[in-house]
Structure 1
């Protein structure tokens, strides 16, 4: 790390030391207290045993399965199940992808250039190292000499600079040009056509890139850097608007990760072979096969050995399968939450336009809808304690900033009715449902995704809970929608959608502006306010290097979102992952130091359930 002026060095050290202390606390995660303490225990083989009340705790799982002296076969093939009830979209490049399923495909063959530790702080252990200037604004990155694309060409500083140029280009058709990228000096002038290059990016030599940011922020150490290069020797001559749909992204993607893509059946499967030239070392496995597996048959595929491991396992299926003889179970507090969002505006000219006359614009209507639903009961009934009621929009996966003193909005249907009464939503015609403020029929269209056995009953639970307080809510088009169609309509601000149920995987950086900022494409609610702008900006200011100050700002922001309710955080989540007993050197979560090239098997054929 480069030299800092004493003041900035002191601030950064305080920030990092406080971050480490907070993340190593025994109170790093929270769990619901379901009828007193559960009696879950961890068995010798890593399988979690449930309590008598049928509830489980994420504290009773490990997140790593190592070889522990078992002999690892040289080579072999495994099958990874992508749990999805529809085809994956297939935008297979980090600079353009939009969805978690595509990210799961990408993780096998492409890496970030920077690594981070269990506290989400950048390390020097990745494919690139870094130094920081005295004022904390300029980062000099050096890509290791043995980091090469799968076609043998070196990953260069030009590739990294090119990724910024593509994302910042006015013809870029992806969603990555957000406030993180806008912090690069000169990128907005480039984006607006006022400059033909990005002044804050300098290619020093083949392997060295210097990036200057407009301001030093604590987020630069925890995710505020764009980590992903774009192969200029492949994409450099393409029109920017054609890259995301090109065969080089959809059918023949390239990366520099542990495996390389051999074949893609669009939306269905991918075959990878090992990258013998991988910079961390040659992978143990010869081959990985990724295939889409419906959540309805995922356990059948795991029991038969057709699939060795999956990532997004439906947590509601765990209790009935916890004792499956051929599986070990890993678990960790997920960096994610589910939520119900209110459509409050549109996306125009690169920013949110909040509509004060939107159907769901009345804050008391939104508050009432939160009070009407019992998410503690949802977590217990549908997920057996492996998901639990959300309270704020910074989840407990980030314990140093999650405000565990904020209760959110408690289940209180009588308060919900009172709020609606006081706001003027009355049942004018006596049919049991409230009319709007003008006395007209109020019907709220609810978009929700298909997938798994509980998708329909969960959506119906919410609809019935709202009915109990006099609100008529109905499924959009009378049915659930598959993943891609659902997000297409949400992203396009379909006027038929009033509310929707979604989920966010939270970035390693706690900064929520990428989801709720005024210029964030992922701000699907299209809600904005000057107070929200102020708090998000202050949390990235120089004074926020003081962790206590940043905690104070985010505490205030979490309360603002509880007050304004652009979304209801419904459930915090556990990530529960089954792995075939032949699988070793596999881990979930962050900062565990186990990498995919180490993944191996202890026998040629999968273990089959008895």
Structure 2
């Protein structure tokens, strides 16, 4: 699946990270339907364990082979402020890490390399880096290193993509610094070698899930002009961090050899070494069976052939993402910097809901994604255990109800050709935009279009074909008038706040849905009152129900993320609530991997 995204933090998907795409899988028989008329979401724990079963003692001086599953080389931009692709994030996780650990809702805790304390007005966070946290070259991680990361990102010479983050921009004095009016950021104050405070223009509970958490080694990078940092060898060939391993050798784009960082603040890693290597998705299953690799994020489409393997097991969790089908309800007004909902085609919510009721997403998840995707029931995925609402009045598969709603809305088959006319009796055609890529992109688009045809709606692909990657984005982002409907997906990132995707004044709101109630609920969700978790949950429960009622887009699929792990691996976990999991605890119980 091709992705256009800005990855923030070491997660597969991110806030404001765009993953508009054609779905990836194979279509099922549209004549076979689900008997359920409501959508239900199963937790990934019902299909997979969070943690590996091997309870044997890890051997001394063990080594693990990690597969970076990709059909292209990794770029090798090995700095959190500059990387933009998931492959580089997979490399980064072994030798560098965020200052803060997180809990099951991805909220910062004080269990990581730094602790924090919020001020009474919730506008200032004081961060204290622990005394035993050192860079892999032996130098201590200091408060000035954390400040330096903001100075880099906020600089007018910065060439990365992180400055667009709303929380970074809300730091007091950031705007003046970015515009070159100040040499430093007035809202960031170094209190001592290990402590600094950051003050924001307004209180926002998302500070504790979305604040930039990465330090940069100022003593190592500070003599390089910011405009040149992204291309420097210290980022690409000899980067340093404060993680459990340090880099011994890089073969650009192909592999990285890591050795243990004996000075790691969590304690010396159980593994003496770790080798990361790029493995093509086409051969990953055989590589796992042969024992060539011990651990890999596993491709969904190969799961049926792999699930009964004897020498490795699967662990899994709910992903921070969902797929959707969006209605073009208006346009983006670049002069006013706001969304305008002025397209009459989908003005009637009954039409939008009917198109949702026509889709059997359970069949899609079961047959196309081998049971590893489930019907999406809201616009907050269940990975956010506290905020995901199980009672959001979701729309399930019910073609009879779809037909009834269309009848009520005046969409009737006047000329008896099997397709409905609009309420004025005119031909009613819907242009659907879906992206090319993968063997099932076209069959899946046809599956959806046939589902709508089954309730009497005439839906066809824009220009009669799937759109290639760049054309797809151009049409969606520029509100091409040919597009009525489009297939997309969002990676939410670790911040539950949906404002950045659905706010009135954000360009990523591609459906252009706006309402006073939506404005208020989104505002309440990141207001000072939302520091009260119960208030925030109640607000997001109401928002999820409201969006299902208004249906500006159809949530289609939630996803599981699965990892294949050789049975010699010990103590590997993907549980979100397990904030204590660190790579230093992972080991192997034998010198040689299990083989099929």
Gap change, CA 1:140 and 1:395, over 3 Å in 2: same
Gap change, CA 1:505 and 1:236, over 3 Å in 2: same
Task: Give me the whole-angstrom Cα distance separating, in 2, the residues matched to 1:579 and 1:399.
Answer: 25
Partner of 1:321: 306
User: Paired residue for 1:560, among 516, 537, 546?
Assistant: 546
Contact 1:355–1:361 under 8 Å retained in 2: no
Partner of 1:540: 526
By how many angstroms is 1:115 displaced? 0.9
Task: Give me the whole-angstrom Cα distance separating, in 2, the residues matched to 1:347 and 1:513.
Answer: 18
Is 1:72 equivalent to 2:59 in the alignment? yes
Partner of 1:117: 103
User: Paired residue for 2:216, among 230, 247, 251?
Assistant: 230
Partner of 1:178: 165
Q: Which has the bigger relative contact order, CA under 8 A and spacing at least 6?
A: 2
By how many angstroms is 1:418 displaced? 5.8
Is 1:370 equivalent to 2:351 in the alignment? no
Is 1:303 equivalent to 2:289 in the alignment? yes
Contact 1:65–1:584 under 8 Å retained in 2: yes
SS at match of 1:604: coil
Partner of 1:211: 198
Q: How far does the alpha carbon of each residue in 1:123-179 deviate from its partner, in whole angstroms, 9 at most, with x for none?
A: 222111223333333222111233233344432222211222333345544045333
Alignment of 1:110-509 (within 5 A): 110-170=96-156, 172=158, 173-191=160-178, 195-221=182-208, 223-236=209-222, 240=226, 242-264=228-250, 267-311=253-297, 313-342=298-327, 345=331, 353-354=339-340, 356-357=342-343, 366-416=352-402, 442=429, 444-448=431-435, 450=437, 457-468=443-454, 469-474=456-461, 478-479=465-466, 493=478, 495=480, 499-509=485-495
Q: How far does the alpha carbon of each residue in 1:383-437 deviate from its partner, in whole angstroms, 9 at most, with x for none?
A: 4444221111112222322221123222233554566677787889998667899
Task: Give me the whole-angstrom Cα distance separating, in 1, the residues matched to 2:460 and 2:250.
Answer: 41
**More divergent stretch after superposition (354-363 vs 297-306):** 354-363
Gap change, CA 1:94 and 1:566, over 3 Å in 2: farther
Structure 2 unpaired stretches of 5+: 1-33, 37-41
By how many angstroms is 1:360 displaced? 7.1
Alignment of 1:511-522 (within 5 A): 511-518=497-504
**More divergent stretch after superposition (492-501 vs 139-148):** 492-501
Q: How far does the alpha carbon of each residue in 1:248-273 deviate from its partner, in whole angstroms, 9 at most, with x for none?
A: 44554443222234455555544433
Is 1:600 equivalent to 2:587 in the alignment? yes
SS at match of 1:589: coil
By how many angstroms is 1:198 displaced? 2.3
**More divergent stretch after superposition (186-195 vs 274-283):** 186-195
Q: How far does the alpha carbon of each residue in 1:198-234 deviate from its partner, in whole angstroms, 9 at most, with x for none?
A: 222101222211112333443334x142211233345
Q: How far does the alpha carbon of each residue in 1:449-502 deviate from its partner, in whole angstroms, 9 at most, with x for none?
A: 645x655544442233234342333388845867xx699768965848765544
By how many angstroms is 1:247 displaced? 4.5
By how many angstroms is 1:530 displaced? 4.6
SS at match of 1:291: strand
Task: Give me the whole-angstrom Cα distance separating, in 1, the residues matched to 2:235 and 2:313.
Answer: 35
**More divergent stretch after superposition (244-253 vs 572-581):** 244-253
Contact 1:447–1:497 under 8 Å retained in 2: no
By how many angstroms is 1:87 displaced? 4.7
Task: Give me the whole-angstrom Cα distance separating, in 2, the residues matched to 1:595 and 1:125.
Answer: 11
Task: Give me the whole-angstrom Cα distance separating, in 1, the residues matched to 2:485 and 2:276.
Answer: 34
Q: How far does the alpha carbon of each residue in 1:505-544 deviate from its partner, in whole angstroms, 9 at most, with x for none?
A: 4334422224334565765556555543322221122322
Structure 1 unpaired stretches of 5+: 1-33, 37-54
Contact 1:56–1:384 under 8 Å retained in 2: no
Contact 1:61–1:331 under 8 Å retained in 2: yes
SS at match of 1:298: helix
Contact 1:340–1:500 under 8 Å retained in 2: yes
By how many angstroms is 1:580 displaced? 0.7
Contact 1:262–1:271 under 8 Å retained in 2: yes
SS at match of 1:76: strand
Contact 2:339–2:506 under 8 Å retained in 1: no
SS at match of 2:501: helix
SS at match of 1:608: coil
Q: How far does the alpha carbon of each residue in 1:311-333 deviate from its partner, in whole angstroms, 9 at most, with x for none?
A: 2x234533443221101222233
Task: Give me the whole-angstrom Cα distance separating, in 2, the residues matched to 1:583 and 1:349.
Answer: 56
Task: Give me the whole-angstrom Cα distance separating, in 2, the residues matched to 1:544 and 1:288.
Answer: 42
SS at match of 2:451: helix
By how many angstroms is 1:441 displaced? 8.3
Aligned length: 552
Q: How far does the alpha carbon of each residue in 1:271-299 deviate from its partner, in whole angstroms, 9 at most, with x for none?
A: 43333332222323343333343444332
Gap change, CA 1:415 and 1:151, over 3 Å in 2: same
Task: Give me the whole-angstrom Cα distance separating, in 2, the residues matched to 1:460 and 1:260.
Answer: 49
Gap change, CA 1:553 and 1:523, over 3 Å in 2: same
